[in-house]
Chain A
Amino acid sequence: MRLLRAELLKLWTVRTPRVLLAIAALVAVIAAATQIGIIEYRDGDPTLSAGQVAGLLAGAAAAIPLATFIGAVGSTSGIRHRTEYLDHLITPTRWQQVGARVGAYLLGGLLFAGVLLAALLVVILTWALIRVGNVPWSSTTTRILLGVALATSAYTAIGLAVGAIFRNQILAVGLLGGWIFAIEAFFVIPLALIDLRLTSLMPVQAIQALLIDDALNDLVDEPGFAISYGVWPTVGIIAVWTIGLSAIGIWRTLSSDIE
Chain B
Amino acid sequence: MSIIEIKDVKKNFHNLEVLKGVSFNVEKGEVVSIIGPSGGGKSTLLRCLNCLETYDSGSIKVIGEDLKEIKDMNSFRQKVGMVFQQFNLFANMNVLNNCIFAQTKALKRNKDEAKKIALENLQKVGMEKFINAYPNTLSGGQKQRVAIARAISMNPEILLFDEPTSALDPEMVEEVLNVIRSLVNKGLTMIIVSHEIDFVRDISDKIIFMDDGIVAESGSPKEIFTNPKNERTKVFLRKVIRN
Asked whether A and B interact, the reply is: no
List chain A positions with a Cβ less than 8 A from chain B. none
List chain B positions with a Cβ less than 8 A from chain A. none
